[in-house]
Amino acid sequence: MQLTKTQETLEAFKKFVIQQARTRLSKERKNVSKELYNSLDATVKAMPNSILVEFEMNDYGLYQDKGVSGTEKKYDTPYSYKSKMPPIKPLAEWAKARNIRLRDEEGKFKKGNYQTIGYLIARSIYRKGIKPTLFFTKPFEQGFKKLPQALAEKFALDVDDFLAYTLKEDRLK
């Protein structure tokens, strides 16, 4: 039995979640390098007795979504910094992409020591954590609320199609 209408509904769910998550990343200005944005993907896999929807994103996307508690500031998240600071190199590259620079005592921009900026940002994140954005969680929950009704309707249509096909085959015998 082919569950084409059911699979189409799950494809629409997948597309909705990814599109809304990308929109939220852009609106919340969490999209400087577009790496996380471009890494958002999903597949709908039909198997003999089930259908699976599997979402994917860069590893750090989970921390952007759920947040991370720092040593001084806590969030409602399963993740926290305890003894290890975030990596400095990606933060230095992020600062460079955003043209964040330090100033000297005279107020002039210092020549780009992005490693120092990366360290300062890493230390701040270690202490203050990463505030949850829920850029993925909210669209997923929003789409999932509508999913049971839509799946029930489309599955019923798939069953109707299957019964019509089966009855037609029986008449032809």
Of 26-30, 41-45, 146-150, 157-161, the poorest mean pLDDT is in: 157-161
Please say whether the beta carbons of 126 and 81 come within 8 A.
yes
> For 11-70, how does the pLDDT look when each residue is reduced to its tens digit (9 = 90+)?
888 999 999 999 999 998 887 778 899 999 999 887 766 777 899 999 989 999 999 999
For range 140-169, the mean pLDDT: 65
Name 74's Cβ contacts closer than 8 Å, sequence gap at least 6: 80, 129
Helix (H) or strand (E) holding 55: strand 50-56
pLDDT at 173 over 60: no
Task: Please tell me whether residue 21 adopts helix, strand or coil conformation.
Answer: helix
pLDDT at 140 over 70: yes
DSSP per residue, 87-150: PHHHHHHHHHHTT---B-TTSPBPP--HHHHHHHHHHHHHHH-B----TTHHHHHHHHHHHHHH
Of 11-25, 110-124, 158-172, the poorest mean pLDDT is in: 158-172
> For 61-114, how does the pLDDT look when each residue is reduced to its tens digit (9 = 90+)?
999 999 999 999 999 999 999 999 999 999 999 888 888 888 888 888 887 689
